A = this chain, B = another copy of it.
Amino acid sequence: MTPFSDHPEFPGCQPNRDELRQRLATAGLRATTQRILILESLVVLPGHPTAEQVHRQVAATEPTVSLGTVYKTLDSFVAAGLTKRVASAEGACRRYDSDCSAHHHLYCTDTKEIIDYSNPELDALIRDFFATRGLGNFQPHSFSLHIAGSRTSS
Residues of chain A having any CB pair with chain B under 8 Å: 39, 42-43, 47-51, 54, 74, 77-78, 81-100, 105-106, 108-109, 113-115, 117, 121-122, 125-126, 129-130, 135, 137-152, 154
Contacts and interface: CB of A to CB of B under 8 A. Distances in A.
Given A50-B93, A86-B97, 17 more contacts: A48-B97, A49-B95, A50-B96, A84-B96, A85-B96, A86-B89, A86-B95, A87-B95, A108-B138, A117-B135, A135-B149, A138-B147, A139-B150, A142-B147, A142-B148, A142-B149, A144-B148
Given A138-B108, A141-B150, A145-B143, A91 B89 contact: no
A23 B121 CA distance: 30
B83 A94 contact: no
The number of times this chain is found in the oligomer is 2
A97 B126 contact: no
Contacts of A74: 94, 96
B89 A94 contact: no
Given A95-B88, A96-B54, A146-B144, A139 B114 contact: no
7 contacts: A47-B114, A48-B97, A51-B96, A83-B97, A126-B145, A139-B149, A143-B146
A154 B138 CA distance: 11
Contact of A113 (B47, B87, B115): B47
